[in-house]
Amino acid sequence: MTQIDFYTILPVSLLVVWACALLLVDLNITKERKGLTALLAAVGLAVTMGVALTQIGQNYTGFKGMVVLDGFSNFLNILFLLTGMFGIAVAIGYLKRMNLERGEYYVLMLFSVAGMMLMSQATDLIVTFLALELLSIPLYVLAAFAYSRTESAEAGIKYFLLGSYATGFVVFGIALTFGAAGTTSFAAIAAAVASGTATTSLLLAGSALILVGLGFKVAVVPFHMWTPDVYQGSPTSVTAFMAAGAKAAGFAALLRIFATVFPSLANDLMPVIAIISALTMILGNVTAIAQTNIKRMLAYSSIAQAGYILMAFVPFADKSIRLDSVSAGLFYLVAYTITSFGSWGVVMAMEKAEGRGLSIEDYAGLGRKYPLLAAAMTVFMLSLTGLPPTLGLIGKLYLFRAVMEGGVTWLALIGVLTSLISAFYYLRVIVVMYMKDGDPQPANETWLGLTIGACAVLTVIFSFIPQSLFAWASQAVLKLF
């Protein structure tokens, strides 16, 4: 391994080594002081973040082209590390309150973040598969972390079985792609396609199967069935991390693969992706209306949001707007991650032991008794709807513009209409908080409150200065094409 190889994956390597060391250190930390394990995990993420920030603007290829350090991976690595920090911050008090405080929780989270980072850097289908497993296996365990509760054990089993099944599709897709091009390297596959030596039919079948496998990870229709049950049954701190991080990692892999490996198949895949995007937005938003449990409501909301992000892939056939469409997808991914963590944070604050406090009606009176918490939840609901003054509105405008410039106006229209539908169940939460009387008693936890406040402030502030974030996203994808 050369110095360049090591430097290319330095942040991932550092985080994995830190997680392994933390697992050993945690053996000597008493049960009453597991907060120290959380602190050490956060320090590991912060140090890794510092290393990732020093790599901004650098471009290296390592391990004979199997991994890459570029603007795209750096942008997403910073997002994943931020997701990990948020995940630890919201979990510290929640795990203690729910009597789930164990040190291995934070170690598993670090390994999952490392998998996300490796997925953004992978430029070989084999590495993508390994990164997918490194990301997923810790999440299977975390979903069943509250194993004494039937719902959590069931969530872990469902996620594991269906996730393993979806991984089989990815492996089969990789095999067909290898059969079509004789290689698993992204660059070599693209060269084989350009030279006409690749078998187009096998390549198309392989890309479709990879889309199925990664479609499960990001929860798009019809690969979404696991989402409501797993999100509801898992500990809410795990659900928050899963909803933001796993979805972002899945889209990172999709963007990297389809930008560098399958752009020549864009004309064939575009109608399929457009239909999947439309169905995901429709089903997610319509089904969310009927939910009374806020975790299930946000689960279906997460499905709908995946449909909006998938819109970024639809104009791929048009090279003139490909850069803007992928940039819009990255921008919306950031907006969704921040908003999602904030909304799940409020859910954690309201949740009581044994699953109580998860009904939407339990939010009655929150606006009067706890105005700051209600104001934060209002910001998150408005952002998910796509209303001002929030980052969600700007993100949807960028996505809709890219789709319309790509000539797929009907999909943009469905996006607008489904956003109007989503206003019903998002604004219903606001109505319950401010228009109904109740006696809510949210948890008063310092790190949870700071995370909710930070997400609310970022959601509003970035909506007034979106140009800098979009410019960074554009620079991140510039080298992909």
> What is the CB neighbour count within 10 angstroms for residue 258?
22
- pLDDT at residue 318 tops 70: no
Spatial separation of the C-alpha atoms in residues 21 and 28, rounded to whole Å: 12
Quote the pLDDT of residue 479: 64
Confidence (pLDDT) at 456: 94
Lowest mean pLDDT across 13-22, 55-64, 133-142, 290-299? 55-64
Q: Give the per-residue pLDDT at 216.
A: 87
Paired residues of 185 in beta bridges: 124
At residue 415, does pLDDT exceed 80? yes
Tally of CB atoms within 10 A around 136: 22
**3-state SS class at 481:** coil
User: What is the greatest pairwise CA distance in the chain?
Assistant: 69
3-state helix, strand, coil in the chain (%, to 5): 80, 0, 15
**Is residue 116 predicted with pLDDT exceeding 90?**
yes
The model's pLDDT over 241-271, given as tens digits with 9 standing for 90+, comes to 998 888 888 888 888 887 777 766 666 778 8
On whether the CB atoms of residues 421 and 286 are closer than 8 A, the answer is: yes
Exposure b/e, 15-27, CB count within 10 A at least 16 = b: bbebbeebbeebe
What is the reported pLDDT for 219? 86
Confidence of residue 478 (pLDDT cuts 50, 70, 90): low
pLDDT at 97 exceeding the cut of 90: no
Q: Residue 17: is its pLDDT beyond 90?
A: yes
User: Which tokens in the block code for residue 115?
Assistant: 């998998």
Q: What is the mean pLDDT of residues 46-70?
A: 89
φ, ψ at 61 (rounded to 5°):
-120, 135
Helix axes 247-260, 186-195, angle to 10 degrees: 30
Element (H, E) at 62: strand 60-62
- CA dist., res. 85 & res. 41, Å (int): 9
- Number of Cβ within a 10 Å radius of residue 285: 25
Q: Which residue has the higher pLDDT, 49 or 207?
A: 49
* pLDDT above 90 for 64: no
pTM above 0.85, yes or no: yes
Residue whose structure tokens are 């985080």: 15
DSSP-derived 3-state class of residue 1: coil
